[in-house]
Amino acid sequence: MNLPSLRKRPTYGVLLNALQALEVQPNSWSKSITVELSSTEQATVQRFLMSIIASDLEWLQDSTGLGGEILTALEQKELLFDLASRRVAERCGRSAMPEMTRTWTIPASSMLPEIKFDIREPPLTGDNLGLKTWGTSYVIAKKLENFGIHYLDHLFAKSDTSTPGNCRRSILHSTKILELGAGTGLVGIAAAAIWDADVYLTDLQDIAENLHFNVEKNAATVSEFGGHISSGVLDWREPDKAQTKMSSKKFSIILAADPLYDDDHPALVANVIQKFLYDDGDSRALVAIPMRDGTTRSLAGHLRKLMVSNGFLEDSSGEEICQDDWAPSDGPEVRLRWTIWKRDLPPHPKYEK
């Protein structure tokens, strides 16, 4: 690894290029090739970054920037110090990262073009895990079209195949969708676009501002595909309080991606699904849980028992592989289990085939 030596008094441009090249890109679970650094190379990078922060860079002189503007030596130092500090923070894990906006791509299919969503992620603070886009969300977002075709077909309007190119399937207009613990909103936003649906995304008050921002930022994209998105606060411990403010009191589809983090979450999730899902045999709840460790597996097992005791049946299920970013790139992949639940009730006449 060829990094400039401060002993040789490199120019501002040389240092700037080196710092920009060392930027750690957040993992978006794509298949792009990344260059892995050995532990020795990582240590070399860290020493280089710290040497810039510790140096007064006294040899720098006023010069012309890339845009033709004059940069004083002091301005150059401040810019280099800031970049070096950012590169150090990037290597300290997700909690040290600054705010960022990532573009998530849903690949094109035979029925849909490629769709891109811009999702803002503020710095992680405290235990506000909903400020980050987790691996489960992206995996589920990419499978939504498949879910619609194979498991939720009865909730979709039939396509007019007599019109050339009109093979798009849209969800019935009467079908309303609720997302629980939406976080940054990727799953619900994607569902609205892919399914041409009306989706209401919810999370806790501390998450709601960023969720609303992402809903507004992607509303135009969703609208292009015929969907509609809105967001609000839903505290699972106070579901009645949230329900009074909802235009729809019941929903035909409930989405919950990666909802289990605490011991009380299985009971809360089961209760909220019981409360907000329509009381018929056609409505569905899609729950996706990554089996990260024994604790998560235990929580998932508890939720399953509660759903069954509440009168739900497992309509379908499957497994995928995901990997949360900000973990080592060679870290273990996580087995993700998704389940589509339905009530043990007869179907509504309007859905019967």
181-200 pLDDT, tens digit each: 999 999 999 999 999 999 99
128-154 pLDDT, tens digit each: 667 788 889 999 999 999 999 999 999
Task: Enter the CATH code of domain 100-351.
Answer: 3.40.50.150
Query: Cβ distance 252 to 276 under 8 Å?
Result: no
pLDDT for 80 equals: 93
Instruction: Enter the tokens of residue 294.
Output: 């024994």
pLDDT for 132 equals: 82
pLDDT for 214 equals: 98
Residues 6+ apart with CB under 8 A from 220: none
Query: Cβ distance 49 to 12 under 8 Å?
Result: no
For residue 135, which of 325, 335, 337, 327 has the smallest C-alpha distance? 325
pLDDT for 55 equals: 87
Measured CA distances, 156 to 52, 149, 198, 282 (Å):
59, 9, 13, 12
> At 266, which helix (H) or strand (E)?
helix 265-276
The stretch 302-327 carries a mean pLDDT of 89
Q: Which range, 52-66, 126-140, 310-324, has the best average confidence (pLDDT)?
A: 310-324
Query: Cβ distance 144 to 194 under 8 Å?
Result: yes
Instruction: Enter the tokens of residue 62.
Output: 């006023």
pLDDT for 324 equals: 66
pLDDT for 66 equals: 65
Structure letter (DSSP) for residue 134: -
Residue 124 amino acid letter = L
Domain limits, CATH 3.40.50.150, in the chain: 100-351
Q: Estimate the crossing angle of helix 265-276 against helix 294-309, to 10 degrees.
A: 40
pLDDT for 204 equals: 94
| Phi/psi at 198 (5° precision) | -100, 110
Compute the C-alpha angle 72/75/77, nearest 5°: 110
- Cβ neighbours, 10 Å, residue 74: 11
Q: How many angstroms separate the CA atoms of 5 and 46, rounded? A: 13
